[in-house]
Amino acid sequence: MNIKLKIWRQKNAESKGAFVKYDFDGVSPEMSFLEMLDALNKKLIEEGDEPVAFDHDCREGICGTCGMYINGRPHGSVQGITTCHLSMRKFKNRATIYVEPWRAKPFPVIKDLIVDRSAFDKIMTAGGFISTNVGSAPDAHAIPVVKEKADIAFDSTICIGCGACVAACKNASAMLFLSAKVSQYALLPQGRVEAKERVQAMVLKMDELGFGNCTNTGACEAECPKNISLSNIARMNREFYKAKIT
C-alpha cells in the first residue's frame, strides 16, 4: 500500500510547527496505524531524519496514552476504538491522511503529536476520589449496592482518559471526562458522602484550566473510544444543581 501522510511536526512547545508530507510506500493493510508510524519512523531514522514523536503504550486500547486526530476525527474513522486499534485496512491505497495532535488550550503540544494532558490529572486531583484511608474500610459486603446502579456506575468508569472528547468537542470541553467520574461516585453509596464538594470542586477546576463550555453537541459521545454516554453529563448537571441548591 502507498499512503500520503501529512503529519503535524512541531519541534517543541515554543516552535510554530507545520504539516510535513510523507509519501510512504511500506504500508501493509495488516498494520495498525501506530505500527505504520513505527515503520515510517524506522525509515526516517535510517535516512537520518528525526522520527515523528507520538504517545503510545499498551497498544491494546486500555491505557489511553495514544491519540491523534486522523482525517478530522480523534482516533480515526472507526467508532469505539483507540488509535492503536485502528487498522490500515480502513484506508484506501494512495489515500491522503492528515494526522494532527489534539488541539485545546489546556492540552498544549509538547512535540509533534504529543500533547500535555496533565490538566486531566488536575481535575481528578480536585475531587475525583473518595476520602477513605487504607485500613479503615468496612467489609466489602457491609454496604450492598443495587446491581442496576453498580452497572451504570461501571459504564461510566471505563473512561481511559485519552482526551478524545476534548479533541472532538468544537468547544474543547472536558465535560464528558469530568462527568464520567462524577457519575461513578454519584451512583455508589460510598461516593455520596462527598458528592456536593466533589462536583463543585471539579467543575471549578475544569473552568479554571481553560476548557470550553459544553453546548450539548454530542461530538464527545460520538467519538469516545469507550462509548461513554452523554447521560453522564446530564447526571453531572443534576449533581451540580443539587449541590448548589441544597
Number of neighbours of residue 151 by Cβ within 10 angstroms: 11
Q: Report 40-69 residues binding other proteins (CB under 8 A).
A: 41-42, 44-46, 48-51, 53, 55-65, 69
SS3 68: coil
* Residue 149 CB, nearest approach to other proteins (Å): 9
Tell which residue, 242, 244, 178, 239, has the closest CA to residue 214: 178
Tell which residue, 34, 202, 232, 22, has the closest CA to residue 124: 202
Q: Report 93-122 residues binding other proteins (CB under 8 A).
A: 98, 100, 103-106, 110-111, 114, 116-118, 120-121
* Residue 141 CB, nearest approach to other proteins (Å): 5
Q: Report 121-160 residues binding other proteins (CB under 8 A).
A: 121, 124-141, 143-147, 150-151, 153-154, 157-158, 160
* Residue 82 CB, nearest approach to other proteins (Å): 10
| Contact call for residue 34 and other proteins (CB under 8 A) | yes
| Angle ∠(172,180,54) on CA atoms, nearest 5 | 50
| Contact call for residue 22 and other proteins (CB under 8 A) | no
| Contact call for residue 227 and other proteins (CB under 8 A) | no
Burial of 224 (0-12, 13-18, 19+ CB in 10 A): buried
Cell reading at 189? 453509596
